[in-house]
Every structure is written in structure tokens, then in C-alpha cells.
Amino acid sequence: MADRRYCVGFITNRFENNYSLTICKGAAIAAEESDVDIVFFPGHDFNITPHDPFQSSFNYQNHALFSLVHKQAVDALVVPLGMVVGRVGYEDRSRFLSRFDGIPTVVCELEHEGYPSVTFNTNGLTESIEHLVKKHGCQRIAFVSGPKGQSDANARLTAYKNALLANGLPVDEALIAYGDFSEYSYDAVAELLDRSDTLPDAICFANDSMAIGAYSLFADRGIVPGKDIAVVGYDNDRFSGVMDPPLTTVDVGIINLGYTSVKAAVELIEKGSIESITLDSSLTIRRSCGCSSYEAAKSFDKKPDSDQLTELVLKQFSGINHISKLNLTTKLLRDFVNLFFTEALDQRKKHFSHRKLCDSFADLIATKFMHLFNHDAALVLLGSLKTAAEPHIKSAAKKLSMYQLFDSMQTSLNEYYAERIYHMESDSQSRQLLVSHITKDMTAYSKEENECYRRLIDDISHFNFESTYIYLFEHPFKGLSQSELAEWKPPKRILLKAYHDGQDIYLPFKEDQYIDTADFFRNTFTSADRRRTAALTLLGFNDELYGFTVTETEPESFTQLGSITQQICTSIKMTDFMLMLEDIISQITQRNAILSHESVSDELTGLLNRRGFFSEAEKALASRAKSHTKLHCAIMFADLNNLKEINDTFGHEEGDYAIKTAAQILRTCLRSSDIIGRVGGDEFAVLAIYSDDTFAERLFKRVKQFQDNLNLETDKPYFVELSIGIHEFDCTDHCNLQELLDSADNKLYIDKKSKRPSSLRQA
């Protein structure tokens, strides 16, 4: 083993897909056995199913995750071609694989030139046709293929046709339909059945998912599989044994596909080259073809031994019999089943060893076995054991002992599942609450980035993941089309905003957040002390890409990731929207303030304009009228002397200068509480409220003195002087501002009589 643990990358599609999730489970088991890290890249398959409710217009954005596969991140890669690019042509698949040049790569499901592969033979499909012909006398055997042109679908269709010919039956194109490998192939099956007035003797499906859709159609039309028509699937998916009736299917060991592919990838790292592997497929007989679940048990030429019956039972469960016998779960399952059949076939024993078998079963259900089987499948296992053993037990006492044993084991199983369901429901409620907290916490702290991400990672840490890392691009990518994503390369650096390891949460300092994108799985912040199984999920909203997360957890929890990351993405979008909205509101407020100021301000002097002065002065007078304090009021009216002469002699720029100087004189001589406005071209008004009886007299003198001093200091060829009139009054509710100004104006004319005849200085 190298100084550091190897890491195997595994390309897959969405985790909501049962087939994909099952392959991931097998891959994770192999990684654990081999003591290597494994990281899953759930991009998005190119095999779009239009009826799939999980599809959306922007699901293709997940293809961005494929661009994160880098030789610095992974030492080898597994690519399930059929699942991800099975529908595209050979050249497009080659182009897709070229993305990963330089990384030792194993392909699975389909072969591809230049790459070691892990594939299945078609023996099981051939066996299924032979079984339908020889056991059930079927002559008209229909076939529901995958999409036309897809390599995987073509291989199974060819095997079906060859098997018909080998059994002396013609190939009838009218008995062939084309689905899309999903449970939404209802219409394809309906169209096939409607081609003839009579049902086919049997229908074979190119995978089990399409058989699910067919079962729904059969129920609608009152057709009973196994009675009115024989039905055979392909894959032996996890659900096939618990369909009603259980589905006879070709067992290709989906778990084993992921398991063997990862084992092959590890060998490729260590040896540099490996041979392609072909896994065996075989028929698993259940009731949908018309057989009893264990019809095969009658085919033994002589009395079977415990090993034969063990293989017969385990064959019913997808891939489990292929997983390494060194794996604890597999070993305990085999040991339990073999122990049961050893006791069942021992004619000397009148009773089963209840304690021994119950303890063995308890050890089994305490392992990851229960992550590979649901409750119904576990009951099928017990039923399979009983069905296979019953014909070989002659003693009535021993049969009674077996029934009692199964009653005890079923009780243990029910108790286990009751507790598991309780915890699952409790965990589900907790998860829903935590998911809702994500949006609440992120939006509540949208203005405080550190606190926002601290809350987010704290919420995620309570999902019992081993660790989670949140990486963001410096700037979101927006509007990338599907073709652009095929060529897209992520930025060289990303930001590690936050992460948790167990219950401990961390927010790197801003200067430490920059990480080489290729080092997302191995960097100074990631743990090298333990083996890791992790999955990436994309952070994006519609056509926007924000970043991605790396979550360390087992495949059993992968289905949780979708809802969590969706909530994070929605929260990021809402947070961005709220910040944008706040920015817009702030800009509008600022603009309104500017507009409001401009609407009441004089552009030349910066004083209030006529409108602004009247508005502010009337407010002040109204407020003063309601006050009970003994304060005095005065209105001052001022006029700039000889402005026309200055304009005519020196130009309007000098005239403007004179007006601004006059405004400055008033601003300097008055208090900040006084209201000053330019109410005409050369006219100014002031409202002052004061308590000193001498205020008006002193104000008049102050203005006159200040303007005299200013004129002595200036080098302008003209004088800037104001004529002033001040009217004092007591404020009441009936004060009229215009009348007060008129009174001040009248007094101004008294002062104006003493002005200079000319503003021009003598040469």
C-alpha cells in the first residue's frame, strides 16, 4: 500500500435511482474491504426519461460534477457506461471518457475499446427463454427492450432473439416493444398488448424497472402475472422479490457489479493493467412466470446437501452471493443459512437448535444486512428457507419445531423493524426540522456571512454524517448549456466556506479558504486518519452553479443528500435575492433622498429653494404655535444689491459668484437652527426662533459688519452687499408666512434706501 490510502472515484447518476444506489452499495462494500477511500460523483445520466418526475429542465447542470474528477483527487475511476452514457453513440462515449485521460479507468455494464471492463454475460436471459419454452410451453414470447440504439438494450435484445432461434421459435417483430428502462414504460407495454386480440404467452423485460410499470398496467386490465401471462424481468433489482407476485428475473447481481468494479479498479492501481471481467448471470425463479418460488428445488437429481440449498436460497437475493465471503455481512448470512439447512437435513435430530439459530439470526440482523434488505425481503428470506427445507423434513415433530423457530425469528425481525421504523420516523421528523432550519438560519443571518455558514454547517452536522465540506466558487456560473458543460472546466481554486468533522464545526479564516479545486477530497482540512466513503452533490439553482458539497457517509444515507442540498441552494438563492433586494431598496432610498433634497434645495447656493423654505418654515411655525415656551420669532428678508449691474458688467458667472457669496454671508451669520432659503433670483428669506429680545437687532448688525469685512478682503471689482428687513412677531395658529415675508420686505425697502448707488469699485 502506498504512503497514503488510495482513493477510487465512482461516476454515477442521481441517488434517487434504486439501481444506481444499489451499485453504490456494492462499491462501498468493496472499498471498505480493500481499505481504500471512495468518492461518488452523482452527475446526471444522459439517458433522459421524459416521464420521470425527478427530471427537470436544469438537471443537466449536475454534469458539472463530472468535471471535478481529477487525478489529484482520485487514483482510479469506475464509470458505469450503461447508466450514464448508455444511450449516446460510441463516439460520444469516447469523448465522455476522454475527460478522464490520465486516470486509470474501469468501465462497467458496457465494454469500450481501450478500457478494462466489468460486464455480465447473457446466459441468464438465454436460460429464461429456455425455461419459458420447456417448463411452461410458451410459444409467443414478447420482449420489452430498452431504447433503440442503446448498447446495453441491443445486447439484451440480441440475446433474446438468439434464444428464440435456439429453441426453434421465430423472431416476430410484432412481439417486440421499446421502453426507456424506467418504470414509466407503461405506454410501450400497452401498445405491445394492443397489437393482438390475444395475450402473448409470456413477456420478458430488459430490466425489472419496466416490469414495475407493466404490473400497474396488468392490474388496470385485470391480467394476473403468473396465471394469465408469464412475466420475466432482468437485473434482480432489490424490489423484484417483493413484487406481487414476486418477479422471476435474470440475476446479474447489481451489488456485485459495483463491488467487482471497485475491486478491479484497486487492482488496476496496483498492477497497472488488468483483464476485463465477465460476470455470470442466471435465472432466478419466482411466481411471476407460473412457477412456485422454489420450483428449482425439485430439479435436483438426488437429495441436495446444505451447500446446494444455501446457494439456491441466496440466489434469490441480488448480488449478495457474489460479494466476497470475507465480508462480515455476507459471511454471517451464509453461515446462518447453511446452519439452518444443516440442521434441517439432519434426520437424526428431532428438533432444531432454537437458541443457536436465533442467536445466529440476531447476529445477522445486527449487521449491514438490513441496509441491503427491506422488511419484505427479509421475510422472503425466511419464507424461502422454510419452502426449500420443508420437502426434506419427514418428522412431524421436527416440522413443528421449524414452525416454532420461524415464529421466533419472525418475532425478532418484527421487533427489529418496529424499532427501526420508530427511529426512522423520529430521524425523519428531525431531518425535516433540520432542513427547515437551514433556510431559516441562512436567511436570518444573510448579512453576516460567517454566522450564516456557521449556522448552516451546525445544522448539517446534526444529520449524523461523518463530515461535510461546503465549497463555493468565487463567482457563480450562470447560463451554461448542456453542450457548454461538456467542455466546462471548473476554476483552479474554490472556497472552503465551512465544514464539520463529527460534531465539531469549523469556519476557515478568509485567507485560508482558498483550496486548489483538484484537492477538494484531500487537503489540509480533511482527515487522513480514517478510511472515507463520500459523495459530492452540486450546489446550484436552475442554471446557476454555486459550488458543491462533499459529504462523508454510507450509501444508505445518500438519498438524504438531495433534499439537504436543494434546501442549501434555495437558501443561497433567497439570501442573494434578499441582499439584492436590500441593495435595491437602499439605492432607491438614497435616490429618493437625493431627489427629495434636490426638490427643496437651490442648486447654486445649497440653501433651501422657495418650496423648501416655505415647507420647513411652515412646519417650524406650526410646531412653535403648539409650544408653551416663551420664544420669539423673526422673519428676515434680504436682497442682493445691484445684481443686474454685476451681471451686465462682468457676466453671469460673476453674478452667480455674488449670489453664492451672499448665501455664505447669511449662512455664516446665522445659527444652524435657523431656516435659510433663496426664494428668488437675488432674494433670500430667513426664519429664526430665539429667546433674546436683542437677537434681531444684533443679527442685522452682524450681517452688515460681516459683509463689510468680506468686501475689504476680496479682490473682486465689485461689492457684495445685502439689503435687509427683519419682522419680529409672536407665533400663533393663524400666522401666514407670505404675509410675514411681505412685512419683512417692507422693512427691507427702508434699508435699501441707504445702499450704494453702484456696486462697482472706483478705479
In this structure, what DSSP letter does residue 112 have?
B
Q: How many CB atoms lie within 10 A of CB 419?
A: 10
pLDDT for residue 542: 80
pLDDT for residue 2: 47
In this structure, what DSSP letter does residue 202 have?
E
Report how far residue 652's alpha carbon sits from residue 220's, in angstroms, rounded to the nearest whole number.
94
Nearest Cα to Cα of residue 240 among 281, 189, 285? 285
* Residue 147 confidence class, pLDDT cut points 50, 70, 90: confident
b/e sequence 13-23, b meaning 16+ C-beta within 10 Å = bbbebbbbbbb
pLDDT for residue 592: 67
Nearest Cα to Cα of residue 100 among 55, 60, 43? 43
pLDDT for residue 320: 57
CA angle in degrees (0–180, nearest 5) for 334-338-339: 115
pLDDT for residue 59: 67
Report how far residue 692's alpha carbon sits from residue 690's, in angstroms, rounded to the nearest whole number.
6
How many alpha carbons lie under 13 Å from residue 728 in its C-beta half-sphere? 12
* Residue 50 confidence class, pLDDT cut points 50, 70, 90: very low
* Residue 375 confidence class, pLDDT cut points 50, 70, 90: low
Residue matched to cell numbers 471512495: 38
Asked whether residue 425 carries a pLDDT value surpassing 80, the answer given is no
Residues present in the chain in total: 763
Report how far residue 246's alpha carbon sits from residue 225's, in angstroms, rounded to the nearest whole number.
9
Asked if residue 442 lies in contact with residue 455, where contact means CB atoms within 8 angstroms, the answer is yes
Q: What value does the mean pLDDT take over residues 97-114?
A: 93
pLDDT for residue 185: 84
pLDDT for residue 717: 92
- 347 three-class SS: coil
How do residues 572-619 score in pLDDT, each as one tens digit? 766 665 555 555 556 666 776 666 666 788 889 989 999 999 999 988
Phi, psi (rounded to 5 degrees) for 472: -125, 145
Nearest Cα to Cα of residue 108 among 306, 286, 252? 252
Instruction: Kindly report which listed range (46-60, 142-156, 164-178, 395-409) carries the lowest average pLDDT score.
Output: 46-60
Asked whether residue 222 carries a pLDDT value surpassing 90, the answer given is yes
C-alpha cell read off for 492:
483552479
Q: What value does the mean pLDDT take over residues 419-442?
A: 62
Report how far residue 576's alpha carbon sits from residue 476's, in angstroms, rounded to the nearest whole number.
11
Nearest Cα to Cα of residue 324 among 10, 554, 26? 26
pLDDT for residue 220: 93
What are the start-end ranges of the H helices in 99-194? 123-136, 151-166, 186-193
User: Model-level pTM?
Assistant: 0.68
pLDDT for residue 296: 46
What are the start-end ranges of the H helices in 35-150? 81-85, 90-98, 123-136
pLDDT for residue 113: 92
| Residue-averaged pLDDT of the chain | 85
How buried is residue 678: exposed, middle or buried, by Cβ count under 10 Å (0-12/13-18/19+)? buried
Give the rounded distance of the alpha carbon of 574 from its chain centre. 14
pLDDT for residue 653: 93
Percent of the chain with pLDDT over 70: 85
- The DSSP annotation for 506-552 comes to E---GGG-EEEGGGSSSSTTS--SS--EEEEEEEEETTEEEEEEEEE
Higher pLDDT among residues 401 and 429, named by residue = 401
Residue matched to cell numbers 444508505: 556
Of 319-333, 559-573, 599-613, give the range with the top mean pLDDT.
599-613
Q: Is the dihedral of CA 270, 271, 274, 277 positive or negative?
A: negative
Instruction: Kindly report which listed range (69-73, 433-437, 605-609) carries the lowest average pLDDT score.
Output: 433-437
Higher pLDDT among residues 583 and 506, named by residue = 506
Asked whether residue 48 carries a pLDDT value surpassing 60, the answer given is no
pLDDT for residue 508: 93
Asked whether residue 561 carries a pLDDT value surpassing 90, the answer given is no
Active site residues: 682
Q: What value does the mean pLDDT take over residues 157-175?
A: 95
- 144 three-class SS: strand
Q: What value does the mean pLDDT take over residues 606-635?
A: 85
* Residue 501 confidence class, pLDDT cut points 50, 70, 90: very high
Q: What value does the mean pLDDT take over residues 557-565?
A: 83
Percent of the chain with pLDDT over 90: 44
Asked whether residue 390 carries a pLDDT value surpassing 90, the answer given is no
Question: Where does residue 374 fall: left (phi above 0), alpha (psi -120 to 50 degrees), or beta otherwise?
Answer: beta
Domains of the chain: residue spans and CATH: 7-112+434-578 (no CATH), 301-433 (no CATH), 610-752 (3.30.70.270)
Asked whether residue 420 carries a pLDDT value surpassing 90, the answer given is no
